[in-house]
Structure 1
Amino acid sequence: MIDTEKLSSYAEGIGLSLGQAQLETFDLYAQMLVEWNQKINLTAITKPEEIVVKHFLDSLMLLNAVSLEEGARLVDVGTGAGFPSVPVKIARPQLELTLLDSLNKRILFLKELSAALGQQNHCVHIRAEEAGKSAAYREQYDLATARAVAHLRELSEYCLPLVRVGGRFAALKGGEIEQELTESEKAVREMGGKIAGVRQFSLPDGSARTIVVIEKISQTLTKYPRPHAKIAKFPLI
């Protein structure tokens, strides 16, 4: 379905070497994404070239922003159709991956996808703020990721409680980030984090992207994360 040679070339351009089996896995992923998208709303991006660039390559850029040790525990918050974490695990198969989403239909897709791709992922139907309060997930992960349109301020409250002290949270954002970074300073600090890096790049189609990396330097206070309605009504500013 997708042009695997082009994906391979794009990956090499960011320092990643994908073998034939990995490229075939990406192709299967694209096929399942399009097939399932006809039944449930997973993505507005369904053209093969756009899937390669805006889903797969965009996700793989995470590996340019953070280093991951073999066997690292990664949690993807509000993962949707599995981005960015499932493509990252195709490139780094030894990662231990937990996929969180609040919509059960997406979790059903992710379970089928994980099985088809040969990934033993933990696919969990739960809201992020509930996971952050649960001992099973709270401060258990080396890396939390989110590729979401939500403000970094809110994403920090959802994601940083899941990260162990010494771990990181990586937020995949669009191009404009300076104002959002300023507006998120209090939330990041309150969650026990500090901005560790801001990686900006452009995709082959010219789209601007930013990955904000936040290091967890102290435990998150037990009062966080707050319920969703409170996070929305009373942002940490």
Structure 2
Amino acid sequence: MNVAELIEKYFELNDEERLRFQILESLYLFWNDQINVISRKDTDQLYERHVLHSLGIANFIQFQPGTKVLDIGTGGGFPGIPLAIMFPDVQFTLVDSIGKKIKVVNAVKDELGLENVTAHHQRAEKVKGKFDFVVSRAVTKLKPQWSWINKKISAESFNILPNGFIGLKGGDLTDEVEEMHLDVEEVPLSEFFEESFFETKKIVYVAKP
């Protein structure tokens, strides 16, 4: 199954989106040879384990135009880059504490012409401004992550879901959820994707109180 078939198995793409997703592999293979941003064993599974995984968020919520999204600990640009391709009218700010990873993100977004992406070498807790949603892929446990970002989430919502945090995580989250003392919604990604990789993967959503 080629790239377009894998993603279009679950999403409708226009020509520009399809082209951008197809280009991703060559970009990441090039940069990964210079700066290791993706596990070597995962490069053959880039579209399933990184791109489609990131797009699980697009199955959970369709961001409205004008939404501001902060991606913390983005690494090489996940989930921010795939989401930015899917939502061209949404503004994405990608941050990571490791400068060389942000170098890759900037190179990828420039090559793809993603004008809705800005990337910064910065720790999550140092980011200024307000955002409608904060997203991440398994950066750390929920409680410390929430402490870094909850004050950065705008109080006024205009999407179908209240503003909040949307994370991609895996495994048993019982202890992490109990520590939060907030309502945490868990959605198995196997509800969206049939590939075996997603059997233990989840979306977690915490609305701003």
Measured after TM superposition, the shift of residue 51 of structure 1 is 1.1
Q: Is the 1:195–1:212 Cα contact (8 Å) retained in structure 2?
A: no
> How far apart in 1 are the matches of 2:118 and 2:126?
16
Could you report, residue by residue, the CA deviation over 1:166-201 in whole angstroms, capped at 9, with x for unpaired residues?
42111110032222211222xxxxxxxx43522112
Taking structure 1 as the reference length, the TM-score comes to 0.77
> How far apart in 1 are the matches of 2:149 and 2:25?
27
- Map 1:221-232 onto structure 2 (within 5 A): none
Higher-Rg member (1/2): 1
- Which of 169, 189, 199 pairs up with 2:165? 169
Runs of at least 4 residues of structure 1 off by over 6 A? none
> How far apart in 2 are the matches of 1:116 and 1:196?
37
Task: Give the aligned partner of residue 126 of structure 1.
Answer: 122
CA RMSD of aligned residues (A): 1.8
Task: Give the aligned partner of residue 196 of structure 2.
Answer: 205
Could you tell me which amino acid in structure 2 is paired with residue 201 of structure 1?
Answer: L
Could you report, residue by residue, the CA deviation over 1:218-237 in whole angstroms, capped at 9, with x for unpaired residues?
xxxxxxxxxxxxxxxxxxxx
- Map 1:1-237 onto structure 2 (within 5 A): 3-9=3-9, 11=10, 16-44=11-39, 45-47=42-44, 50-120=45-115, 121-131=117-127, 136-137=128-129, 140-166=130-156, 167-185=163-181, 194-195=182-183, 197-202=185-190, 203=193, 204-207=195-198, 208-217=200-209
Q: How many residues get paired?
A: 196
Identity over aligned residues, as a percent? 27
Unaligned runs of 5+ in 2: 157-162
Unaligned runs of 5+ in 1: 186-193, 218-237
Could you tell me which amino acid in structure 2 is paired with residue 197 of structure 1?
Answer: E
Taking structure 2 as the reference length, the TM-score comes to 0.87
